[in-house]
Structure 1
């Protein structure tokens, strides 16, 4: 199932964001225009109402209103949306301008238009100042929206006339509707254009990712040395490219390590199998005595033990590399444990004519069985390469941040270029240097399988510690460093 396009998803998100912005901006502009138009219309209505009332107050009587109708209606001339009605003191319409039957209807009883036919409006007293708060809203007979002011005017003879100044808002509604439609059209077009341009720009911006994918596709089992090389990669992707290249380097190193390990394991297992097969073929070449057959079986048994130790060591290394490997940490005296280990190897040391000496004391927090195995492997290795008559020293000491366990033995120094590699699996500086037969080692050691020091390093890594070797003319020292548990 093909996943959704990242460019399309980002383009849609960009379009949605643009739509939201357009809606907010368009709504703000629409409301702002509506308020501005309303404020201007309100001002026109108020000014017209004030002017008309002032002109009416200069007239002497109701008849003067009819005689000077042109003077009063001049207030609303020039604006087809403005209308005016003037009612005499008796409530009858004396003047009308541009109402087109929208403001008042004839009274059915008298046949003439009267104030009673007007919509319910708040009448502004003749002595009260006209303001925008006095503007009322209603709907005409033909459904048009109307805004206006109904006010009284005191004539000179003391009578009171009434004036209605109103504005038809249909043109404003039409203007706002058209403006809204244009905003909608512009918003839709803008969103579509933004999505198209966003998609193209995002695809161009994602091109380095496609180049990275193309470079990664060139990595195969036979080309693990290939690295992702993308020219002018954006700064945001530099960390990704560096991480991928570092991962490829680790994969290459792990694959090479696994290949070497597999080859070394096959080689080391082939040797005892070849020995067993060769000895069996020689024995079967002609009849042998019982003693010769017993010797053959004993030799094959030694080779089987060697294979068993090798397999057990490989299995331990495999388990140690698993993240869920279980350790039983506890506190114990490292000096006492070194003494017990030395006593266990006393017989092997006597056979090799080597002395063992234990010194120092320190409390360490570690897995006791793993501790014993690490020190045993180092001690077995030291016995193997110590000249006859030499002395091996096992020492424990503590510092502020760690406990150090040292196994030191005299003998031929190890060249500096080999000091780090001796902890690799199946690595031997000189296989012919062993002075101790593998059959003489205990079950807990690895004999000459080439895995003893690799197991030591694995054990130290499990404890978060380290192991290193030092070698000079005085001898060789293997130092285990266990961190203190806070």
Structure 2
């Protein structure tokens, strides 16, 4: 099945647009997914970063958890989970909704601390006790903050130097802030799937603490799904709109071509003076119109030359043929009856009549080609003309059985001479090519709009390759040309029928009979 160019353009634009939208959708969703992940990572980092650079007592993290709930609201209490552990992985604080998987997550490795001179413990403690009162304040203490708070049992903000030596962790100095690694170097982010849902987890670590913050991703996935649903709804609608737009754009682009095709289709042999109008402002279409009109100019010139040649030749031959016919008639009359000379003249006269008939047919066809076939329409009794044709065919083919189905006094408006020639050409064709002992059927029918005369005769089927050429001039199915005829009868009969607003067609082969149907309008 052939597809229209307009349909192909619309389909191609639809396919390209659909592909681009699909690729855009994939890139867009990848972008918003990664953007959402980055946003959560920045949010987690901003919450934790300030908490790790200064020491805090253990109860600080409980207050920090409460502040998170306040920030995100009571309706989003379960969105944030917090787990804080010390340098020995002892849990200092864990929020109620923290997934169990947080405690088992691997911690990012700390970079090696810078080398520092470290005096002995006793000397170092005496060095820290700047007031020499046997106590060290939080500001003087340079060990881990949680160690200070564990030693400060009475919560007075001071610890005795003797108590430090009894702690599990020996005192050591924290490196200065400038010597600590950037937070990004001791942070890790990952996504974890748990029975309670998906979590985006940030793990932050310094020499004293490990803080793990988990952010629920259900809201994030809900947003992604809303985008996906909106995209899945918008894409088909967009593709439909693009398809309709592409169809109308293709139709608009092809409209000049359709105008050219319609104009060219309406140009016939009788209207070769028509030209294709200039449509649109496109250079390609203008060139197509110019080339087509130039071709029509050449075709019109050649056609008129051929028609004039046929008409002029036929017209010029009529006079000498008429003179020659008269001379042969005189010669026959002057010859002795039954003599060989008279028989020769009679044979020549018969051939001359055939030649004159061909010339007359060529002249009629030339006039038909020029649209100058004179038709003098008067009421004609078609039934009578067909009855006369049956009598002629009985003379031409005596062994042919004739059947008639002719309505009485079926009249139409037509040129009697031309119509009679058409019917006689059909009858002559049937007599020449019918089987010797076959039969012919004459049928004349009438309805409200037209009359149909069908002449069928027993004969072999016409080959398929000859059927399209059957009405061409000088074409004969019988290639040996042993049967009399010029190959102009059917061509002339159809031209006369069309000049009357009707047509002559070959019917499908049926019941061993070849049939032709002449259709003519009643008025």
TM-score, with structure 1 as normaliser: 0.47
> What TM-score results when the alignment is normalised by the length of structure 2?
0.44
